[in-house]
Structure 1
């Protein structure tokens, strides 16, 4: 059985990721680098399936400890 991924949802918070990379103007995600440390937190099955949302990237940059499992 294969798990379906919602490409419009952030794999971390499951909210809309707001990615519009297909737009002729581009997307915010082209201008905001995603830290490798944040990408490393994704389970292998979710990597390269959907974009991480802007809020998760900003939150991680401000306080990475928020994303550590306790």
Structure 2
């Protein structure tokens, strides 16, 4: 693992997981929709496991992109006894 990223080095227009444009209207990302409209994430359900993967320095500073936000955890193997 590398050195922690300083908070002021976080680009609010890039996804902290993959580096792609996060299309965040509030951050002014390239490709974002009309700033007068709500951001795509207001209608999205984002898994807590994905949110937990965001590096500490980027939390509350950069949003996930739609592709990373859409990733859901794998189903537990059949017969594992785990329920959701």
Coarse TM-score class (shorter-chain normalised): 0.7 to 0.9
- With a CA cutoff of 8 Å and minimum separation of 6, indicate the structure with the bigger relative contact order: 1
Quick check: which has more Rg, 1 or 2? 2
TM-score (norm 2): 0.62
The gaps in structure 1 that reach 5 residues or longer are 66-70
d(CA) in 2 for partners of 1:8, 1:44: 16
Aligned residues, how many? 61
Which residue number in structure 1 is paired with residue 44 of structure 2? Answer: 32
The gaps in structure 2 that reach 5 residues or longer are 1-5, 28-34, 75-84
Which residue number in structure 1 is paired with residue 21 of structure 2? Answer: 16
d(CA) in 2 for partners of 1:52, 1:29: 9
**RMSD of Structure 2 on Structure 1 (CA):** 1.8
Regions of 4+ moved over 3 Å: none
